[in-house]
Amino acid sequence: MNKKIILDCDPGHDDAVAIMLAAASKELEILGITCVGGNVGLDNTVNNALKVCTLIERTDLKIYSGASKPIHYDLFTAEYVHGKTGLDKKGDPIIISSDYKVEDQNAIDFIVDTCKSSTDQIYLCPTGPLTNIALSLQKNPSIKEKIKEIVFMGGAAMCLGNTTPSAEFNIFVDPHAANIVLGSGIPITMMGLDVTHQVNVNKTIINSINENNNKSSKFFGELMDFYTIFHKKLYETEDTPLHDPCVIAYLLDPSIFTGKLVNVVVEENSELTRGATIVDWLGVTNRNPNCHVMNYANDKKFFALLKNKLSTLP
Ligand code: BDR
Ligand code: CA
């Protein structure tokens, strides 16, 4: 049976690739794409989702606009990675189809209503700060029963953070939302920096995907040419972690990743460690396991999957 998913994102170059990978996969039924303020402000993340779906000729996909800021903090954005629009790149600008608009319904109401009315269980796939998901759970806690699993990109179990030395971006931006999600009792899988840094884009990967010779793969190359600039400088390598598509790859083929069920809580307030994911890998606390934390990725299988799926798009 197809997995029904809601993709909750803040596009973002790697979120854009996650949208493309999901849209290319018949194994997944995208019920909606919900946007959150994160990499850039909400207006831009919504616009970028509309752009990506226009480019891949999937204007049937419904886009919803959600929270513009985290639950308690002001929004911290990452134009320094994704550029002013959040999807900066060279090449032809993407003109959103004139009849393709964001839905009137708010993302949080959409998540709640969709879960309530669905006869099947749903996978929530957040690739940005967890604000929309946390607010949906707070608005109607009974939707938990309808959520099969939350597979999110965020956190860093056994490696450095990328936004502060201790915190990954999505969790740093809204640590309170992350704790609401982690404390929900819903099955949760964390695709943190531990795995996303094993799934690296470089010139060889870009060239290989370009062999697909379609406009979506060309778009992938244009996105990556911009997205890799920041990472090459920061990490002083030719390799750039392709974070967000790991969420979708996990749903399509969980054998690409391995990990362990452990307890995760998030530091909310400390000046030095706000947004740190405290991962009890060794089971040294008496806190109950609440999260399946991935720590290994097979990059060959991942990129073979991505190349194959992108080849099926326009
Ligand atoms: C996460 O932060 C964002 O910049 C990316 O889109 C990804 O979701 C990586 O830390
Ligand atoms: Ca993201």
**Ligand 1 atom 2 nearest Cα:** 169
Residue 209 has pLDDT above 80, yes or no: yes
Q: What is the pLDDT of residues 291-301, one digit of tens each?
A: 999 999 999 99
Quick one: which ligand is closest to 231's CA? 1
Q: What is the pLDDT of residues 111-122, one digit of tens each?
A: 999 999 999 999
At 259-286, the pLDDT tens digits run 999 999 999 999 999 999 999 999 999 9
Which-ligand-closest: CA of 193? 1
Q: Which one of the ligands is nearest to 227 CA?
A: 1
Helix (H) or strand (E) holding 169: helix 169-173
For residue 13, give the nearest of 248, 238, 221 by alpha carbon. Answer: 221
Of 172, 244, 202, residue with least CA distance to 11: 244
Cβ(15) to ligand 1 under 6 A?
yes
Whether pLDDT at 67 is above 90? yes
> Containing H/E element for 180?
helix 175-182
Q: Is the pLDDT of residue 45 over 90?
A: yes
pLDDT at 1: 74
Q: What is the pLDDT of residue 122?
A: 98
Q: Does the N-terminal peptide bond of residue 12 adopt cis geometry, omega within 30 degrees of 0?
A: yes
CA 69 to chain centre: 17
Name the 3-class secondary structure at 51: helix
* Nearest CA-CA partner of 54 in 101, 9, 107, 105: 101
Phi then psi for residue 104, to 5 deg, are -70, -35
Give the bridge partners for 291, in sequence order: 262
For residue 172, report the distance from its CA to the centre of ligand 2, in Å: 12
What pLDDT score does 239 carry? 95
Dig out the tokens for 45 from the structure: 């993340």
Q: Record the tokens describing residue 203, joined without a space.
A: 């010139």
Å from CA of 49 to ligand 1 middle: 15
Integer-rounded Cα radius of gyration of the chain: 18
**Atom number in ligand 1 closest to CA 127:** 8
Q: Where are the alpha helices (DSSP H) in 183-214?
A: 193-196, 203-210
* Ligand 1 neighbourhood includes 174 CB (under 6 angstroms): no
Listing DSSP states for 75-119 in one string gives P---HHHH-SSSS--SSSPPPPPTT----SSBHHHHHHHHHHH-S
Q: Is the CB of 155 under 6 A from ligand 1?
A: no
Which of the listed residues 39, 87, 172, 201 should we mutate to test ligand 1's pocket, taking the one with most ligand atoms within 8 A of CB? 39
**CA 96 to CA 12: how far, in whole Å?**
16
Gap between the Cα atoms of 43 and 65, Å rounded: 8
Q: CB of 84 within 8 A of CB of 48? A: no
Please say whether the beta carbons of 260 and 223 come within 8 A: no
C-alpha separations of 246 from 20, 92, 102, 242, 296 in Å: 12, 27, 26, 8, 11
Q: Which two tokens stand for residue 85?
A: 């629009």
Q: Give the start-end residues of each E strand in 104-223.
A: 122-126, 147-153, 188-191, 200-201
Tell which atom from ligand 1 comes closest to the C-alpha of 169.
10
Instruction: Give me the active site residues, please.
Output: 243
The pLDDT of 200-226, averaged and rounded, is: 98
Both tokens of 224, joined, read 């990556």
CA of 27 to the centre of ligand 1 (A): 25
